[in-house]
Homo-oligomer: A and B are copies of this chain.
Amino acid sequence: MSTQIKSTNITWHEGSVTRAQREKLLNQKGVTVWMTGLSASGKSTIAVIAEQMLLHQNKHAYRLDGDNIRHGLNKNLGFTAEDRAENIRRIGEVARLFTDAGVIAITSFISPYKKDREAVRASMKPGEFIEVYVNVTVEGAEKRDPKGLYKKARAALAAGKGMGFTGIDDPYEAPEKPEITIETESTSAEEAAKQIVAYLDKGGYLKA
């Protein structure tokens, strides 16, 4: 950190660009918005709209979801208890890097176990991890079931071949003190996204 390399008009220091400098550049604060909830609770739809709303305010958000994680970083993980924990751990670590980069990272995974989510929270500084509980009953989620996953899980269970599907034959552990709770059955996706953006705005995350 002490060496200085002089050019004709600027002095470059051997110190990293700081997080504060990145945040100033982006005029926002790095943060992780962690969506958790049952399959078909509406997590991804809400995340996508929140991302659009943030872009509309010139804020740099990035979504981490099954599409860009499962076939990439976590393609070598299966569905054992150990692999599920490692799945969430890695997502948490990537979210932490984006947060450090000054980006608003929005993760959208069922992340059913309290222990795994709490480990991610503990890896970040206070205020960096915003847990968004997308609350829906199993019945409500099952009624929607846009991809027919609950139907498949019920059929597998009836055939004696449990899939370990969250809400059917694997538990979902609801957050106890989430920063934001969205009541899916009485809130539109747009209202839910507004709720998230308003939280960020009020919390000072949308300015440096």
Contact = CB atoms under 8 A, between A and B. Distances in A.
Interface of A: 5, 7, 10, 12-17, 21-22, 25-26, 45, 48-49, 51-53, 55-56, 58, 60-64, 68, 72-73, 76, 86, 90, 93-94, 96-98, 100-103, 123, 188-190, 193
26 contacts: A5-B49, A5-B189, A5-B190, A10-B56, A12-B190, A12-B193, A13-B52, A14-B49, A15-B48, A16-B51, A16-B63, A21-B55, A22-B55, A22-B62, A25-B55, A25-B58, A60-B101, A62-B97, A72-B93, A72-B97, A73-B93, A90-B90, A94-B94, A97-B98, A98-B98, A103-B103
Nearest to A62: B101
A15 B44 CA distance: 10
A132 to B, nearest CB: 18
- Specify how many copies of this chain sit in the oligomer: 2
